[in-house]
Structure 1
Amino acid sequence: MTSPTPILSPRPVERLVAGIATSDGAGVKLTRVLTHDLQRRLDPFLMLDAFRNEHADDYIGGFPNHPHRGFETVTYMLAGRMRHHDCGGNSGLLGPGSAQWMIAGSGLIHSELPEQEEGLMEGFQLWLNLPAQDKLRPPAYRDIPARTIPELTTPEGVTVRVLAGESHGVAGAMQRPVTQPLFLDLHLPAGSRFEQPLPAAHNAFLYVYRGAIETADTRVKDRHMAILANTGDGVHIHAEEAARAILVAGAPLNEPIAQYGPFVMNSAEQIQQALRDYQTGHFEHAQVQRLD
């Protein structure tokens, strides 16, 4: 671990966003944090869902077979067990602290179903846009076991799990060349501070999922997102109480976004083609690759 460049001008908070309670899949209750109206502002990120359910009726239906095209999904489990299957015959089990990174590309059909009947089910799903030249690339996925996600502990006792990008000289489990996403899970003891440099052009946000933090003189509490302004050289976080949060940032694509449900392309014509391909069985025969 190396010491980060000191943050001389922390990014201010542009806006606080309260997550919206909703349901998806077969009735899974969740909090939709990054919604459709924020896609341009937080380009290349399209959606963030947070789920934290203790009652089986709120998650047991899971997410049965459904299609995707044109973007990437990042599923990160904090608690519980989720089994995924796809049309290429691949299957895997996500447990506490593990993740799956899936590139939908030209299209696939998959499912995510709980493999438990009681207890806490908690985690996130983040949608990351693909650049135009990659939207029809072959679909692929990678399961990332909890033990393989790089971690570091700062001198102040902050535990940082680096799912993507880099923090304090520690490279994350995934690196994506165009959007350059940063995805950190931060466990902050009471009284601790944490700094992370951010490239000036990257859009960034914080989402608190336990306790509360302060950044740029703004308090951000549980189940709230802070959109960080695009001025300053990074983020500075102070936790008066024990808290947990994710920090997400990435390089914007600055391309048109056309979305129809699980299809994200660059034009209405491409969406119509996606619908035709799905209806004629193109997705069912996708060859899903494994990411290294």
Structure 2
Amino acid sequence: MSIRPVLETRRARPTMEGAGVRLHRAFGFTDPSECDPFLMFDDFRGERPADYQAGFPWHPHRGIETITYVLAGSVEHGDSLGNAGTLGAGDIQWMTAGSGILHQEMPSGDAQGRMHGFQLWANLPRDLKMTAPRYQDIKGADIPEVIDDDGTRVKVITGTFWGARGPVDGIAADPQYLDIFVPAGVKKRFKIDTYRRAFAYVFDGDGFFTDASAPQGVLLEKEVMGQEVNIRDLSGNRTLVRFGSGDEVTVQAGERGLRFLLISGAPIEEPVAWHGPIVMNTEAELHQAFRDLRNGTFIKPQH
């Protein structure tokens, strides 16, 4: 076994999207090869409706997939194909935009006004950019959870892990998307196929990931690579950890345990032409997408 080195840890940065939703972005709109095949990751959470209730009104997508995971509150969605529904706490939506879709996502808080969710963008390879759009809406109750003897819990959203298979399937990047909790004081290894790019997103607790070049561990609660990364502070625990190549990730949970998403996928390694919600391979394809939007031919007939 080879431990994946920690290439970088960094805090998600506050930004605003949609009609005025305050969120934190772990990566996106910089170097698309950084986490290939994944393009962007947002953490949207808040306890004040003013921070999220404006939502994400109608907007287009082409050439990507969006993965929305709700932890608290709910998200109502609708699209140009006539689909509509509500994602509740624990639910997942995997939307393949493909050739083009217009949709909206409108968050609401729970009884205490809390809203929390994540959205990940995954790129589509050239031969699937113009595939037919589709949705996979998965209820939280249908997401398998495996529990180890030491109390480690893993929700398997997509991919296969510890004998469980996630309910989301048919995704081009062959991704593995895991929601992991490691109890206080437990050291745990998680195998990841060597061909995948991988990152973790820590959103609760404390601990560290073991680095192959620093066996004592890369402490998330201390200064790492010149950045203050303090996940002991629950108001500032949004930490991205990017891994290098290898076949396992090793984590040591601290006093409060550690909860994080562990996400990996096969890199596409194709040219990226990206503007806003549309991601193609060439500038010409990108310009065509916006011409389609202007002339009303963005939504393609489905056969």
* TM-score normalised over the length of structure 1: 0.92
Q: Which residue of 2 aligns with 1:234?
A: 248
2:218 is the alignment partner of 1:218: yes
Deviation (angstroms), 1:177: 5.1
Equivalent residues in 2 for 1:68-147, closer than 5 Å: 68-116=61-109, 119-147=113-141
1:188 positional shift:
2.1
Moved more, 151-160 or 215-224: 215-224
TM-fit CA distance, 1:192 = 2.2
Distance 2:127 2:76 in 1: 31
Aligned to 1:167: 161
Of 278, 284, 287, the residue aligned with 2:293 is 278
Instruction: Determine helix, strand or coil for the equivalent of 1:255.
Output: coil
Instruction: Report which stretch shifted further, 27-36 or 277-286.
Output: 277-286
Matched, 1:25 2:18: yes
Count of residues in Structure 1 that have an aligned counterpart in Structure 2 = 280
CA distance, structure 2, for counterparts of residue 38 and residue 225 of structure 1: 15
2:191 corresponds, among 191, 194, 197, to 197
What letter matches 1:132 in structure 2? R
Tell me the SS of whatever aligns to 1:174: coil
CA distance in 1 between counterparts of 2:139 and 2:5 reads 34
Distance in 1, Cα, partners of 2:93 & 2:18: 18
For 2:137 and 2:301, locate their aligned partners in 1 and report how far apart those are by CA, in whole Å: 18
Partner AA of 1:172 in structure 2: G
Distance in 2, Cα, partners of 1:43 & 1:176: 18
| Aligned twin of 1:4 | none
Deviates more, 1:33-42 or 1:253-262: 33-42
Q: Deviations over 1:215-256 (max 9, x none)?
A: 1111233211110011x2111111112221000111001100
Provide the rounded CA distance (Å) in 2 between the counterparts of 1:112 and 1:286: 23
Structure 2 residue aligned with 1:267: 282
Query: Are positions 1:149 and 2:136 aligned together?
Result: no
1:284, CA displacement in angstroms? 5.0
CA distance in 2, matches of 1:116, 1:89: 25
CA distance in 2, matches of 1:263, 1:53: 27
Rounded to whole Å, the distance in 1 between the matches of 2:173 and 2:109 is 35
Question: What's the C-alpha RMSD, in Å, of the aligned pairs?
Answer: 1.6
Which residue of 1 is the match for residue 223 of structure 2?
Answer: none
Q: Which amino acid letter does the alignment assign opposite residue 219 of structure 2?
A: R
User: CA offset at residue 39 of structure 1?
Assistant: 2.0
Distance 1:176 1:46 in 2: 19
Which residue is 1:45 aligned to? 38
Give the Å deviation of 1:128: 0.5
| Matching residue of 1:5 | none
Match 2:262 to one of 239, 247, 253? 247
Tell me the SS of whatever aligns to 2:200. strand
Q: Which residue matches 1:183? A: 177
- Give the equivalent residue in structure 2 for 1:59: 52
Distance in 1 (alpha carbons) for counterparts of 2:143 and 2:301: 28
Per the TM alignment, residue 9 of structure 1 is displaced from its structure 2 partner at its CA by 2.1
Q: Any idea what the Cα deviations from partners look like across 1:129-181, whole Å, max 9, x if unmatched? A: 11100000111111111101111111111111111111112111223453111
TM-score when normalising by structure 2: 0.88
- C-alpha distance in 2, partners of 1:102/1:219? 35
**Take 1:163 and 1:23, find their aligned partners in 2: how far apart are those partners?**
27
Q: Which moved more, 1:116-125 or 1:205-214?
A: 116-125
- How far residue 35 of structure 1 moved from its aligned partner, in angstroms, is 2.1
Per the alignment, do residues 80 and 177 of structure 1 end up closer, same or farther by CA in structure 2, a change over 3 Å counting? closer
- Residue 37 of structure 1: how far off its partner (Å): 2.4
Answer with 28-37 or 172-181: which moved more. Answer: 172-181
CA distance in 1, matches of 2:193, 2:30: 24
Deviations 1:77-115 (A, max 9, x none): 010011000011110110000010000000000000124
Note the residue ranges of structure 2 that are not aligned, 5 or more in a row.
Answer: 211-216, 221-230, 232-236
CA distance in 2, matches of 1:223, 1:29: 14
